C-alpha cells in the first residue's frame, strides 16, 4: 500500500513538472527576440499576407488566448503545424523521436554492459595498478566532450580509413519498406556505429565508477566472507553474490541516464547528422520553425521526466530501505 501511495505521489509530481515545463517552453518561444510574430512581420510579405499568416497560426490572438488554445490542442495530441514542413509537428517528431530512442538505447546498452564488467573488475582488484589506470581512464573519458570524441572518431574511421560513413542514418537514396526494415539493415548499422560509440564512451565513465564504489561496499559485507568460508570459488562469489547486490544503484541509474541521454542528444546528432530530436531542435531554431522547436523540447522534456519517474519507482521497489514518505 505504501508503495502504491508513493507511486501515485510521484505520478502527480511528474504531471505538475510536465505542466510547468509546457508553460515555460510556450512563453519562452513567444517573448525571446525573433519570436513567431516578428518572423512574419519581418518576412517582407505585404500587410494582407502578414495578417493571413498570423491568423493561420493563431498568432493574431492575445497571449493568454494562445496559451489556452495551445493547452487544449496539447491534450488532444495537437502540437500545431510546422512552418518548415507544412504538416503537423507530431507527424514529423514521431519519426525523429524513434531515431533518437534507437541511438540512445544502443549507446546506453553498450555503455552499461561494459561499465558493469569493468567496474566490478576494478573493485575486485582494488588499489592495484590496473585499478588506478582504469579509474584514471574513466575520468579522462568522462571529461572529454562528446562532440570532440565524435569528431576524432569521424576523422579516423570515416575520413582517413573510410571504413564507416561520414554521417546520416542511411545512405542517401536508399529506400526501406518500414522503419524496422531500416533499423535492421546493414547500411543502418554501419551508420549507427560511430554515433553510438561516441555516446557510449561519454556515458560509460559514471556507471563504471559507481559500480566500482558499490562493489567495494559490498565486498565488506559478512555474507561475502561467509561465501568464502563455504569454499565457493572467487569468480562465483564475485558474479553470483557481490555483483548482484552491487548492481542495484547502477540499474536505477540507468533510467536516469536514459532521460539525460535523450536530452543531451543534440551534440551527438549534430556532429553525425543523425536525424533525431536533438538535431531537429537545432534545425528548427535555425530556421525559426518555432512550433517544431517547441514540440521537440516538450518531447525531450517528457521523456526525461518519465525516465526519472521510472528511476524513482525502480529504486523504491528494489530497495525497501528507501523512504516512501
Quote the CA–CA distance of 49 and 139 in Å, as a whole number: 57
- The full DSSP string for 153-216 is HIIIIIIIS--S-SSSSS-TT---SSHHHHHTSHHHHHHHHHHHHHHHHHHHHHHHHHHHHHHH
Say how far apart CA 119 and CA 126 lie, in whole Å. 10
> 88: which strand partners?
81
- For position 114, what pLDDT does the model report? 92
Domain borders along the chain are 93-288
Q: How far is CA 201 from the centre of its chain?
A: 14
Place of cell 563455504: 230
pTM, full prediction: 0.77
CA nearest 280: which of 100, 17, 31?
100
* Cβ partners under 8 Å of residue 90, min gap 6: 77, 78, 79, 295
**Around Cβ 54, how many Cβ atoms within 10 Å?**
16
Per-residue pLDDT of the chain (325 residues; tens, 9 = 90+): 577 787 888 888 888 988 898 888 888 877 766 555 555 555 555 666 666 666 666 666 777 888 888 888 888 888 878 877 878 888 888 888 888 888 988 999 999 999 988 988 888 888 889 989 988 988 888 888 888 888 999 999 988 888 888 888 888 777 777 777 888 888 889 999 999 999 998 888 889 998 888 888 877 777 777 777 777 776 777 777 677 777 777 877 787 777 777 766 788 888 898 888 888 888 887 777 888 888 888 888 888 888 888 877 777 776 655 555 5
Give me 106's grid cell: 544502443
Cell 547502477 maps to which residue?
Answer: 250
Residue 203 contacts residue 111 (beta carbons within 8 Å): yes
Task: Return the ∠ at Cα 297 (arms to 170 and 115), rounded to 5°.
Answer: 65
Nearest to 305 by CA among 4, 10, 7, 9: 10
Superfamily designation of domain 93-288: MetI-like (1.10.3720.10)
The conformation of residue 157, written as its DSSP 8-state character, comes to I
Query: Biggest alpha carbon distance in the chain?
Result: 87
Amino acid at each position: 500500500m505504501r508503495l502504491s501511495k508513493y507511486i501515485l505521489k510521484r505520478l502527480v509530481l511528474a504531471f505538475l513538472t510536465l505542466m510547468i515545463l509546457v508553460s515555460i517552453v510556450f512563453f519562452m518561444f513567444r517573448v525571446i527576440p525573433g519570436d513567431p510574430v516578428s518572423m512574419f512581420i519581418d518576412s517582407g510579405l505585404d500587410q494582407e499576407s502578414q495578417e493571413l499568416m498570423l491568423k493561420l497560426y493563431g498568432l493574431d490572438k492575445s497571449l493568454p488566448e494562445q496559451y489556452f488554445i495551445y493547452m487544449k490542442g496539447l491534450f488532444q495530441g495537437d502540437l500545431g503545424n510546422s512552418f518548415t514542413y507544412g504538416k503537423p509537428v507530431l507527424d514529423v517528431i514521431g519519426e525523429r523521436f524513434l531515431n533518437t530512442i534507437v541511438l540512445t538505447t544502443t549507446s546506453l546498452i553498450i555503455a552499461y554492459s561494459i561499465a558493469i564488467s569493468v567496474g566490478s573488475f576494478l573493485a575486485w582488484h582494488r588499489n592495484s595498478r590496473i585499478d588506478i589506470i582504469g579509474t584514471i581512464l574513466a575520468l579522462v573519458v568522462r571529461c572529454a566532450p562528446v562532440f570532440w570524441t565524435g569528431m576524432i572518431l569521424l576523422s579516423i574511421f570515416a575520413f582517413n580509413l573510410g571504413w564507416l560513413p561520414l554521417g546520416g542514418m542511411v545512405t542517401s537514396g536508399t529506400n526501406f519498406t518500414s522503419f524496422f526494415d531500416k533499423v535492421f539493415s546493414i547500411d543502418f548499422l554501419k551508420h549507427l556505429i560511430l554515433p553510438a560509440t561516441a555516446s557510449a564512451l561519454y556515458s560509460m565513465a559514471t556507471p563504471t565508477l559507481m559500480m566500482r564504489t558499490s562493489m567495494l561496499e559490498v565486498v565488506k559485507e559478512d555474507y561475502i566472507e561467509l561465501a568464502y568460508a563455504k569454499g565457493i570459488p572467487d569468480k562465483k562469489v564475485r558474479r553470483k553474490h557481490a555483483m548482484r547486490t552491487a548492481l542495484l544503484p547502477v540499474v536505477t541509474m540507468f533510467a536516469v541516464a536514459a532521460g539525460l541521454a535523450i536530452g543531451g542528444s543534440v551534440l551527438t546528432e549534430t556532429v553525425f547528422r543523425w536525424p533525431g530530436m536533438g538535431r531537429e531542435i537545432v534545425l528548427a531554431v535555425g530556421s525559426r520553425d518555432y512550433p517544431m522547436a517547441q514540440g521537440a523540447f516538450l518531447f525531450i522534456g517528457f521523456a526525461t521526466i518519465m525516465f526519472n519517474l521510472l528511476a524513482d519507482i525502480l529504486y523504491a521497489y528494489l530497495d525497501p530501505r528507501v523512504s516512501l514518505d
